[in-house]
Amino acid sequence: MIGILWILNGITSCFVMAGDSNVVPVSKRTEKVSFQNGVDHYSGTVDTEIWALAPTTLLESNPNASSDANNDGGESQVLIRFDNIIGSSPNQIPKNARIASARMHVSAFDQGSTVNLHRMLVPFSKSATWSSVIDGISADDLEASRHKDSFTFGKIAANSSTIVFDVTDTVQAWATGQANHGWVFLNTGGNGWDFYASEFEETEQRPKLVVEFERAR
């Protein structure tokens, strides 16, 4: 009996060869994909700030976005979605995959109050504004889930601006057929928390979704 272990392109597999013909997997294959605008031809991130004080202004092309419960007197919220993540292409999550982990990474540059990340339950467009979604987004189980997927205290570490959100449960729901409407960042306080959007010139600081999964059998 011979054990073989190899690592290739993020895929870790371990097989034991029984005799000289049958190859028996002894651990499931975990594969990894990531989605970040400008990397590996991906361009599916849609992110925009909506602001109560500029209720019809399109902020989608801004290189940064702020969530702030009191941004100069009106709330700012941030909507984000990664389109085309489920499918049969090599760099997509296959339908019905078991999601081992899903993490959204954003690069924050301004500290703020605690910010909660909620799953969106209704679609939003690139041209969403505070008015178009009717007075912003409410986490009311109608527009966005009451339950929060994840949160940040809004602080930025001295050695890294990257903030990581665990979104495993939501990406699992999408892999098994629920509609992907993205997320909304809702700040709980009046100290704005800002990060670089998908238009930011430095690719590596754009929002990134990293997913590890096992294919359905």
Residue 182 or residue 192: which is nearer to Ca ion going by CB?
Answer: 192
Closest separation in Å from C-beta 145 to Ca ion:
14
Residues 154/195, Cβ–Cβ less than 8 Å: no
Per-residue CA distances from 51 to 7, 117, 154, 169, 191 (Å): 46, 17, 19, 28, 15
45, β-bridge pairs: 82
**Distance between CA atoms of 102 and 93, rounded to whole angstroms?**
11
Within 38-67, the residues that bind Ca ion by CB under 5 A are 47, 60
Nearest alpha-carbon partner for 67 in 197, 196, 206, 194? 194
- The dihedral region occupied by 166, where left means phi > 0, alpha psi between -120 and 50, and beta the remainder, is beta
Contact status: 191 vs Ca ion (CB under 5 A): yes
Contact status: 112 vs Ca ion (CB under 5 A): yes
Q: Tell which one of 134, 157, 201, 217 touches Ca ion (CB under 5 A).
A: 134
Q: How many CA atoms lie within 13 A of 121 on its CB side?
A: 14
Closest separation in Å from C-beta 47 to Ca ion:
4
Contact status: 214 vs Ca ion (CB under 5 A): no
Closest separation in Å from C-beta 167 to Ca ion:
19
Residue 29 or residue 147: which is nearer to Ca ion going by CB?
Answer: 147
Contact status: 127 vs Ca ion (CB under 5 A): no
Closest separation in Å from C-beta 174 to Ca ion:
21
Q: Tell which one of 118, 192, 209, 212 touches Ca ion (CB under 5 A).
A: 192
**Distance between CA atoms of 217 and 207, rounded to whole angstroms?**
31
Closest separation in Å from C-beta 135 to Ca ion:
5
Contact status: 184 vs Ca ion (CB under 5 A): no
Residues that bind Ca ion (CB under 5 A): 47, 60, 110, 112, 133-134, 191-192, 197
